A and B are shown apart, each in its own frame.
Chain A
Amino acid sequence: MTSLVTFDRATLGYGRRAVLTDISFDIPEGDFLGLVGPNGAGKTTILRALLGTLEPLGGSVTRSPELRFGYVPQRDQVDYNFPLKVVDVVMMGRYDRIGLGRRPTADDRRRAHQALEHVGIDRLADYPLADLSGGQKQRTLIARALVGEPNVLVLDEPTNGMDLVATTQILGLVRELHDRDRLTVLMVSHALNEVANYVERIALVVEGGFRIGTTDEIMTEQALTEMYGIPVEVDSFDGHRIVVARRQTGEMATDSV
């Protein structure tokens, strides 16, 4: 399968400070990859290198020609004080296609509505963005990423701060976009338990360490215990895998990895 992005012994960091060294992996067309790790582990650094907004300090990051990302930022990265309608925000995903100094055409507006329909919120097109719920805002940002007709959908912590229902719906939507449209997806998250049951491969980043494999390869007690450096159990419930970290006292603590 064609590789869309290739990290070849890439050293990533800021200034002279390396955050991650010798990272090698690729993202083939049609992949559904979860980039998982605790806050501060280097997920954002990998994400920036992938998107091309951070040059590697060593090695290389190669992107296939004509590659186009549909980027969904963290929800709190967007300023909701701006008095924008949902459809106006979605339209931004086409701004670079529309061109400098040009106005959106009727076709651009039609595509923006189509993208909203695709994520199930076309009825909210004329609502102020600030009035939407967390899940609806996330759908708006996903629609904005889709309207640019990307090869790869990149989502940064898409379920951060959401309740259980909204989290399940957003992850379900992303999975549906991957299955239905065969869209290549990279999802960045700190919540292994959430991501593991939706993605096909997992890249685990923990304190400078990096490991990538299929979900079956990564979601093992041995692999996770090695990466996190604490005893970890992987349980299964109704087809869903749940990672549980053992406290040193012997008590069980869920959601700690």
Chain B
Amino acid sequence: MVTASSLRVVKPGKWPPTVFSTVLLFREALYGALVIALACSVLGVYVVLRRIVFVGAALAQISSAGIALALWLAGVGIALGPVTEPTVVSLLLTLGAVMFFASGARGRVPPDATIGVTYAVAAAVGILLIAKAATGEAHDIFLSGNILGITRRDTLVLLGVTLPVLAVHAVFYKELLFVSFDRETARTLGYNVRWWDLLLYLTLGVVIASAMQFAGVMLVFNFLVLPAVTGLLLSRTMRGVFFWSVASALVAAFVGFSLSVPFDLPSGPAISAASGAFVLLAWGARRTITRS
């Protein structure tokens, strides 16, 4: 994994000015983290409200298994051009899972158990593939991501994915909200609920797959859940929840990233810890307001 110390830019004796100069060195990575935070925190509001948190976790795990598969293929010398690129393999596997989850297929196995099986199998297969991949540091990247490795080009690619997804969510906000809130009534008004579910899951899959290779399972899952929970604790309107979700994700990304660089901490867990701190603060604020 790329850390600040590996590039020998840390000078603890000159903190805090060194903090800013060090963070500036990695500003491209910071921009990338902020884009991931923005995309995931918007979609995370639906993930939390629709109670599909574990679908998010399973998609993240499948996406990472896709990256592992691509790394393993590269390790054994199988290269089929763009099709075996980590992002592409990850996206294809994730979209396959999206189609499955959005189909709402009902069988004898309860839906949450199906998600659990998917999660466990994807995690196991991913780890097995990584164990046999030639890339030495792949295992760390698989778990914690490689935020510091984000380049300007990566950030632009992330933006290229994020902006259309956010545009779709802005344009079809009321439709996505309606089918999420009361699907039966939406159906009686002529809404094709499955189609809207599929659209939501597709945007979710695209964002997860594009963020996964940089952010790792932990950070993507964190951004899908924790900021939205912060938003729900701090606001009682949809607009407020979206605002606080996005704001807390961006600030957590900035604070976590900024602290991880000079203190030579892994960025993903540092950002996740900052998100967790925001949830605690929001919970405290909510309790204080409720009591007063």
Which residues of A pack against B, CB within 8 Å? 51-53, 69, 71, 73, 77-79, 81-85, 88-89, 92-93, 95-96, 98, 100-101, 103-104, 128, 144, 148, 154
Contacts and interface: CB of A to CB of B under 8 A. Distances in A.
Given A81-B49, A82-B49, A71 B181 contact: no
A83 B185 contact: no
A100 B172 contact: yes
B230 to A, nearest CB: 13
B238 A84 contact: yes
12 contacts: A52-B188, A71-B188, A73-B182, A77-B182, A78-B182, A79-B180, A85-B237, A92-B181, A92-B182, A96-B190, A96-B191, A100-B172
Contacts of A71: 184-185, 188-189
A82 B238 contact: yes
B39 interface: no
A115 to B, nearest CB: 15
A43 B190 CA distance: 21
A77 B183 CA distance: 9
Given A95-B174, A100-B172, A73 B184 contact: yes
B185 A73 contact: yes
Contacts of B190: 96
B286 to A, nearest CB: 12
B241 A83 contact: yes
B236 A83 contact: yes
A82 B188 contact: no
Given A82-B49, A95-B175, A53 B235 contact: no
B232 interface: yes
A95 B184 CA distance: 14
Contacts of B189: 71, 93, 95-96, 148
A101 B182 contact: no
Contacts of B175: 95, 100-101
Interface of B: 49, 171-172, 174-175, 177-178, 180-182, 184-191, 232, 235-238, 240-241
Given A73-B182, A84-B181, A53 B188 contact: yes
B39 to A, nearest CB: 20
Contacts of B171: 101
A83 B240 contact: yes
A13 to B, nearest CB: 16
A101 B172 contact: yes
Nearest to B172: A101
Nearest to A71: B188
A161 B49 CA distance: 24
Nearest to A82: B181
Contacts of B237: 83-85
A193 B237 CA distance: 40
A81 B182 CA distance: 12
A92 B238 contact: no
Nearest to B187: A53
Contacts of A82: 49, 177, 180-181, 238
B91 to A, nearest CB: 26
B20 to A, nearest CB: 37
Contact of B238 (A88, A103, A154): A88
A232 B236 CA distance: 50
A52 B189 CA distance: 10
A30 B49 CA distance: 39
Contacts of B177: 82
A79 B49 contact: yes
Nearest to B239: A83
Nearest to B182: A78
B178 A95 contact: yes
A65 B189 CA distance: 15
Given A73-B185, A148-B189, A92 B178 contact: yes
B41 to A, nearest CB: 16
Nearest to A126: B237
B188 to A, nearest CB: 4
Given A83-B237, A104-B174, 9 more contacts: A51-B187, A52-B188, A83-B240, A84-B237, A88-B238, A93-B189, A96-B191, A98-B174, A100-B175
